[in-house]
Amino acid sequence: MEAKALIGHIRESVGDAVAKGQEQISSANLLQFLNNLDAAVDAAEPLAQAQREFEKVQLEHSHQWDQEMFRSVIDSGQAALKAAFLVTGGGAAALLAFTGSAWKHLPAAGIQSLATALFLLGLGAFLIALASGFTYLAQSCFAQAEFTASKRWKMSGEVIRWIAVTFVLTNYGLFFWTVCLASDVLRMLTPS
């Protein structure tokens, strides 16, 4: 039984005695009351201990859940960055191979489109590299936010994280633009 509950129980019992017109409490009755109260406290202690253990386990479970969710977010972000690197790098390699074989069969506009497409893939690769760095900065801000009372670190982490997400999405947009340019170049090819 908690101290507040114990005091409340004593106050209620004394209030009942006063309400019945009893102005004095005999020593024997007080001793009996205290013995009963002691027994009630002893009976309530295992329940209180079980409640504390339950809350402890629940808190540990919540902490583990939060850590797993955090790991999941980190893993998803790393997978997105790797996918963007692979798409961009693979696109650049394929475009360079295509350029080497189709160079002689393209008009000047086709060569210009290939140069633009290669530039866009290079820009996309640069944005992914920046996104990786910004991801690190965001995680650093979130970690710092755990140890300080200031909300600036968390807000900074959120802003930096969204900048990194924007870089990745922009990279995908640049890749799509590159695919459109490459398809236009394919239409320009003259059969040999």
Indicate the domain borders of the chain: 3-188
pLDDT in tens, 75-110: 888 888 999 999 999 999 999 998 888 878 888 888
For the beta carbon of residue 102, count every other beta carbon within 10 angstroms.
18
For the beta carbon of residue 184, count every other beta carbon within 10 angstroms.
14
- pTM (whole model) above 0.95: no
Tokens matching residue 184: 């236009």
Instruction: Give ∠ CA 147-150-152 in degrees, rounded to 5.
Output: 110
The fraction of the chain above a pLDDT of 90, given in percent, is: 40
The fraction of the chain above a pLDDT of 70, given in percent, is: 96
Q: DSSP letter at 105?
A: G
Taking the C-alpha atoms of residue 112 and residue 184, their distance in angstroms, rounded to an integer, is: 11
Angstrom distances, CA of residue 81 to CA of 8, 112, 136, 160, 179: 61, 29, 12, 15, 19
Q: What is the pLDDT of residue 118?
A: 93
Q: What is the pLDDT of residue 191?
A: 66
pLDDT in tens, 40-83: 777 777 777 888 888 999 999 888 887 888 788 788 888 889 99
Indicate the helix (H) or strand (E) that contains 68. helix 27-102
Q: What is the pLDDT of residue 90?
A: 93
Tokens matching residue 37: 């109260």
